Amino acid sequence: MLNALRRSRGYGKLRRNRPAVVALWIIAAYFAVAGWIFVTEWADWAGERTGAFRLGGVPVLGAMLPDRTLDRVGPRWLSAFGVPQGPQRREDQADFVFKRVDAALAELDRLAVTDPRLVETALAQHALAERRIAPVPLPELRARRDAARAAFATLDALKRSLSLGTTLLQQLDSARLRLGALGAPPADPADHAQAAGLAADAIEDAMFSLEDLLGDSAGLTGLLSNAGLPGLDPAAIAAGLARQPPAGAAPADLQGHADTVRQASAGALDTGPARAALSAAESMAQGHTAVLAGARAAALDQAARSVEGLMPVPAGLDGLVYRLRVLLGTDAQGRSILLRSVYSAKVAVQVGVVTAVVSVLVGALLGAAAAFFGGWVDNAVQWLYSTFSSIPNLVLLVVLAFMFTGTPAEGTLIPIYAAFCLTFWIGPCRVIRGETLKIKELEYVQAARALGFSRVSVLLRQVIPNTTHLMFISFSLLFINAVKSEVVLTFLGIGLKNGASWGLMISQSGAEVVIGLFWQIGAATAFMVALVLAFNVLSDALQDAFDPRHVG
């Protein structure tokens, strides 16, 4: 049958269809990945049962095992392709690694472990996949930990000062707006008095915040110098400002201006001196904030280098594997998005192949038997698929999936297989039945019957083989439908609940999309679209090549 298929005109037409050939290569790549994962899973299971070996620790062979998709490979929300991240996210990720190493050292101190082998084992438990704690003596590791702790302390102090600077700038802007309402003659003295009081309060708040900022910054000078970072020099900052403070105005004048504004309740107020003092304060605050921002960036770089010394990225083959793991970033649990996306391809191929093969075989046998034998067989098959077709497809899939709730099969692929195979056979059954109604009237079928071949033999050897082209087309269409339906059911929470699946990834990425992180949902969607699009192109090419209505 396959030889006859290769000699057919349809096969030659399919080979000349370049988009179809490209789609076949893409599909072959997905199937090769799925086959590789299946073989490594089976080999690991066999090795574990016999006690001969385990692939979990092997860099390449063990990289695609199901358990590895759940491993934490880094901090949460690493960006894909090394795209630069914001300072706060970089700090959070460096802090996560530091706390992981600090917890490992605290555990060793608590247990008083001194044996080098036990120390190595304890430190290995806190590794992030191939990224392990630096293999240095414990005293040196503790010294590196203390240096990183000092770097984070400096970073925290700078963050507090930056927060003060941001608050001060907001208060200064509010005070300026309130002063703007006091320059014209008042329409109502009472309203003017209230506005003057609010302006005075705003000026006082800004004055206290400015004092806090200057005092906090002055306290940071020695800390930054000890850490090798630039210090804070208010005089140098003021001298380098593009807009110099007005003559005679100084931040210290804010208190006097606040009292003056509070007493001005009966008429228009000359707000010039107060505004000049506010401008001077704003200039000073902007200068300090700019220096603090630069110092924070330098402190963050230093903290990142300190963390790299505690848990360096590996080199060699382990380093290559690790960099591939984090190529598409990490999710909220620090798991590899690339690894989960690739493993989900195996789940999709597995669901698509099982569903399509079973559905096509069942549908082809029932449809061919119904058309060939007719009578009560045809009536029974038509009643069966008409009954199933009258129920909305998605509702029927949900009901069948819920039938396994509370059973050991819940959350596995078994409910998916049952739901799909019990519903997807309807399409192939109708198509094969209609084709068989035409084939059974052809001369070669009548000749076979006249020669004494049994009806079952004629059906299996003459009729069904001549519907092979429709089986291939139905297989490709059902494969696409099965992959998309599995993603939908899993996204709704009634499909696969553990492991990795594109539906699970899309479902778990909801909180990430809200904060602008699209790596996980983008990766899952891209992998799924590539497979579904390739099968769509192949389905169209198969119809053009083998459907008698299209072959020319």
Do both 163 and 297 map to the same domain? yes
Do both 304 and 349 map to the same domain? no
Do both 296 and 350 map to the same domain? no
Give the whole-angstrom CA distance, residue 436 versus residue 470. Answer: 11
Do both 305 and 388 map to the same domain? no
Do both 157 and 301 map to the same domain? yes
pLDDT for 359: 92
- Exposure string of 515-544, with b = 16+ CB inside 10 Å and e = fewer, is eebebbbbbbbebbebbbebbebbbbbbbb
Structure tokens at 47: 């090795």
Phi-psi region of 91 (alpha: psi -120 to 50; beta: other; left: phi over 0): alpha
Read off φ and ψ for residue 336, nearest 5 degrees: -70, 120
Give the whole-angstrom CA distance, residue 60 versus residue 37. Answer: 11
Within a domain: 123:
no
Within a domain: 9:
no
Over its length of 552 residues, how does the chain's per-residue pLDDT go in tens digits?
A: 556 556 666 666 777 778 888 998 999 999 999 999 888 888 888 888 887 777 776 766 777 788 888 888 889 898 888 788 888 889 999 999 999 999 988 888 887 777 778 888 888 888 888 889 988 888 899 999 999 998 888 888 888 888 877 887 787 777 776 766 665 555 566 666 667 777 777 777 777 676 666 666 666 666 666 656 655 554 544 443 333 334 444 455 555 556 666 555 545 555 566 667 667 777 777 777 777 788 888 888 889 999 999 999 888 888 888 888 899 989 988 999 999 999 999 999 999 999 999 999 999 999 988 888 888 888 998 898 888 888 777 777 777 777 777 777 777 788 888 888 888 888 889 988 888 888 888 777 778 777 777 778 887 777 888 788 788 888 888 999 999 988 888 888 777 877 788 999 998 888 888 888 889 999 999 999 999 999 888 888 877 766 655 444
Within a domain: 80:
no
CATH number of the CATH domain containing 471? 1.10.3720.10
Answer with the one of 265, 295, 310 that is the final residue of a domain: 310
Do both 281 and 379 map to the same domain? no
Give the type of residue at 330.
T
Q: Give the range of the structural domain holding residue 168, as residue numbers without chain letter.
A: 141-310
Do both 352 and 416 map to the same domain? yes
Task: Give SS3 for 72.
Answer: strand
Within a domain: 118:
no
Structure tokens at 146: 């203390």
Give bridge partners of residue 11 from the DSSP assignment: none
Taking a C-beta distance cutoff of 8 angstroms, is the pair 465, 397 a contact?
A: no
Do both 294 and 340 map to the same domain? no
Of 9, 7, 3, 33, the C-alpha closest to 545 is 9
Task: Give SS3 for 332.
Answer: coil
Exposure of 346 in the CB half-sphere (CA atoms within 13 A)? 20
Taking a C-beta distance cutoff of 8 angstroms, is the pair 93, 78 a contact?
A: yes
Answer with the one of 310, 345, 377 that is the final residue of a domain: 310
Which class for 49: exposed (0-12), middle (13-18), buried (19 or more C-beta within 10 A)? exposed
Give the whole-angstrom CA distance, residue 144 versus residue 152. Answer: 12
pLDDT for 243: 35
CA dihedral 159, 165, 168, 173 (to 10 degrees): -120
Number of structural domains, the chain? 2
Give the whole-angstrom CA distance, residue 227 versus residue 363. Answer: 74
Taking a C-beta distance cutoff of 8 angstroms, is the pair 425, 363 a contact?
A: yes
pLDDT for 222: 65
pLDDT for 157: 83
CA dihedral 110, 116, 117, 121 (to 10 degrees): 50
pLDDT for 552: 42
Do both 372 and 291 map to the same domain? no
Within a domain: 83:
no
Taking a C-beta distance cutoff of 8 angstroms, is the pair 468, 436 a contact?
A: no
pLDDT for 246: 41
pLDDT for 242: 33
CA dihedral 297, 303, 309, 314 (to 10 degrees): -60
Give Cα separations from 78 to 39, 58, 460 (angstroms).
30, 24, 57
Do both 355 and 298 map to the same domain? no
CA dihedral 11, 13, 14, 20 (to 10 degrees): 170
Within a domain: 216:
yes
HEC string of 360-416 equals HHHHHHHHHHHHHHCHHHHHHHHHHHHHHHCCCHHHHHHHHHHCCCCCCCCCCCHHH
Within a domain: 523:
yes
Give the whole-angstrom CA distance, residue 230 versus residue 409. Answer: 62
Do both 357 and 500 map to the same domain? yes
Task: Give SS3 for 7.
Answer: coil
pLDDT for 26: 93
Do both 169 and 242 map to the same domain? yes
Within a domain: 531:
yes
